[in-house]
Amino acid sequence: MRKIDKPIKHIYKCGIDNMITLITTRVDNKNFVMTSSTVAEVSHSPPILVVSISPERYTHDKIIKRGAFAVNILSIKQKTLAKICGGCSGRNVDKFEKYKIPYHISKGGLPFIEGCFANIGCKLIATHRYGDHTIFVGEMFEAEVYGERTTRHLLLSDMKHPLPSWLYNFLRKIPILHKLKRTLKL
């Protein structure tokens, strides 16, 4: 394998791929959702997973308040949903209301998004702060699994836009083009 000396941030460009999920929680009868690419299973017995969330996300403190969260594993057909939930904050908008996100409340009282491969309810058992993110450790206590074989789950590599990143970042800063990009689902 050829060695390339690059800053560590370039690790994201070397083909490491992650599953895309929506993290949801519910506090005072309000639902919260954000996109995440950092969910990993860390124990089978008991079943435990982790997700890394920046304290800047509105969902961060809501999960701590509720003491529970759900991991909604997206299918490739739900890319637009991943973009929406990762592109605006619950601080400014009720994403469920505005984008009519289909969901139901699980037995454990968490928002389970419809059309996913699986929805997993987790009890928050620990948090650990590393750098600029918090690792949420969740013990899975309920799940709904649908797993359609005709499709596959959404990966981080599916989220890439077709433009070079310098052009994409430039265009993002122009409000009218940003709107156009959303309309064209780029």
Ligand X SMILES: Cc1cc2nc3c(=O)[nH]c(=O)nc-3n(C[C@H](O)[C@H](O)[C@H](O)COP(=O)(O)O)c2cc1C
Rounded Cα–Cα distance for residues 95 and 30 (Å): 11
- Under the binding rule (CB under 6 A), the answer on residue 86 touching ligand X is yes
Q: Is 123 exposed, middle or buried (0-12, 13-18, 19+ CB in 10 A)?
A: middle
Determine if 89 is a binding residue for ligand X (CB under 6 A). Answer: yes
Place of tokens 């509105």: 58
**CB neighbours of residue 43 within 10 Å:** 12
- 36 near ligand X (CB under 6 A): yes
Specify whether the backbone of 109 is left (phi greater than 0), alpha (psi in -120 to 50) or beta. Answer: left
- Pick 5 or 132: Cβ nearer ligand X: 132
Q: From the CB of 110, what's the least distance to ligand X, in Å?
A: 15
Q: In the complex, what is the shortest distance from the CB of residue 98 to ligand X, in angstroms, rounded to a whole number?
A: 12
What is the x/- site pattern for ligand X, positions 37-66, by CB under 6 A?
A: xx-------------xxx--xxx-------
- Dihedral sign from CA coordinates of 84, 145, 38, 50: positive
Q: Does 75 bind ligand X (CB under 6 A)?
A: no
Give the shortest CB-47-to-ligand X separation in angstroms.
Answer: 20
Pair of tokens at residue 75: 């299918």
Binding residues (CB under 6 A) for ligand X: these are 20, 34-38, 52-54, 57-59, 82, 86, 88-91, 159
